[in-house]
Structure 1
């Protein structure tokens, strides 16, 4: 697998920069699958946390608009 094929460059990786302008760590959320539900009725679902340099078989390169 190419060294650039990692979560940080995947279109399904959410690094939260849109919310805060910066990230705290080299982690983000994988948005490929829906959130995992929690056992309690008042609990919210959670998106899987992944490292920026992780990768999986669902990797899809992030498309950038042509300039």
Structure 2
């Protein structure tokens, strides 16, 4: 089976030194990794990832950075 290509976040710059979130679809799960640590991945569902993104966009996670 061919491995799916990783897709980088649109917020990732083209220069080499940036930490980037990358994701791919893998057997019904969504896998995420940081570009600087490609061997470490986490898996989630599309529903859970969608909920996380919507929460972040709505500012519901802003308190976590303070």
TM-score of the pair, normalised by structure 2: 0.25
Between structures 1 and 2, the one with greater helix share: 2
TM-score of the pair, normalised by structure 1: 0.24
